[in-house]
Amino acid sequence: MSPDDLKSSIAKAFRIESTDLTGALVKEVNELIAVGDFWGGDEAGAKFYNGDAEVLGYAATAEAVMTEASAISSFYTGVAARIHDMGRNVEAADWASIAEMPRILR
């Protein structure tokens, strides 16, 4: 695997995954928002939305999903950056090794 593979192909794949995940999440959340308050205004709806002492409600669960999905997306972005850095480091090491090679006398 070449440094260019690390910097372009592999790092790019992680950046694409991050972008795709974020886009899919935004799309799904917007579709849920478009539905409106589907839980209703009665006691059962309030319990569904707010939860109780034993179970988290829809609001808290939806927020947690958004937080975790955002963390996954950020993770992919971070991996992409680190893989790109790895490629640059390998290139730098290669050039440093070449500079240290003994000269061949003619």
pLDDT in tens, 19-71: 999 999 889 988 988 889 999 999 999 999 999 999 999 999 999 988 998 89
The pLDDT tens digits of the residues spanning 79-96 come to 999 998 988 888 887 777
Residue 45 confidence (pLDDT): 95
For residues 95 and 106, give the distance between their C-alpha atoms in angstroms, rounded to a whole number: 23
The pTM for the full model equals 0.65
Q: Angle at Cα 21 formed by Cα 73 and Cα 67, nearest 5°?
A: 50
Domain ranges of the chain: 3-100
